Amino acid sequence: MPRRLRPVELDFTAVAPVRLAFEARLQAPPPAVYRSIAVEVGSLPAWFTPVASAVPLDDGARRTIRLRGGVRFEETVLAAEPDLRYAYRVDLTNAPAVSALAEEWALAPEGTGTRLRWTMAADGPAPFRTGLRLASPGLGLSFRRAAAALDRRLTPARRPSPGTAR
């Protein structure tokens, strides 16, 4: 049975009791990265493997996410700033304990590529907050793998330099 979470606004990603933030550098430029995260929502499972399905709703104002293992989220988009930021909050979920959850993907140009920062902001009872903090290394690994997979999707294969083995 889905549970309604406390509605939060964009500032929650800066003030939540638990904030986990992870960064990666991608060779792909910000417009391509933003398009994959915010516009081509349905492609999320192809590069972020914990996601089983992602479906945009209401012309992109909302979305539904289903994770492998059965956790579901109904989300409202809080910010969609092309090439800069994409953020959303969870309105309904079947995940236990969490009382508020929002995520933000921030993009910044770095050379010809993109610095990508994913922030997960959450609240819930003390055991939930502790568990989420303990899960930080695994979530960070999942993010780094997803960022690398996304970059492979967006960056054409390069020919090896002369004299290198591949």
Q: What is the largest CA-CA distance in the chain?
A: 59
pLDDT, tens digit, for every residue of 99-143?
999 999 999 999 999 999 999 999 999 999 999 999 999 999 999
**158: pLDDT strictly greater than 70:** no
pLDDT in tens, 12-21: 999 999 999 9
Q: Quick one: pLDDT at residue 2? A: 87
Query: pTM for the whole thing?
Result: 0.91
- For 53, 117, 121, 122, 144, the CA distances from 35, given in Å and listed in that order, are 17, 15, 23, 25, 19
Cα Rg of the chain, angstroms: 17
Helix (H, G, I), strand (E, B) or coil at 24: strand
pLDDT tens for 39-82 read 999 999 999 999 999 999 999 999 999 999 999 999 999 999 99
pLDDT band at 156 (very low <50, low <70, confident <90, very high): confident
| Residue 72 to residue 157: CA distance in whole angstroms | 34
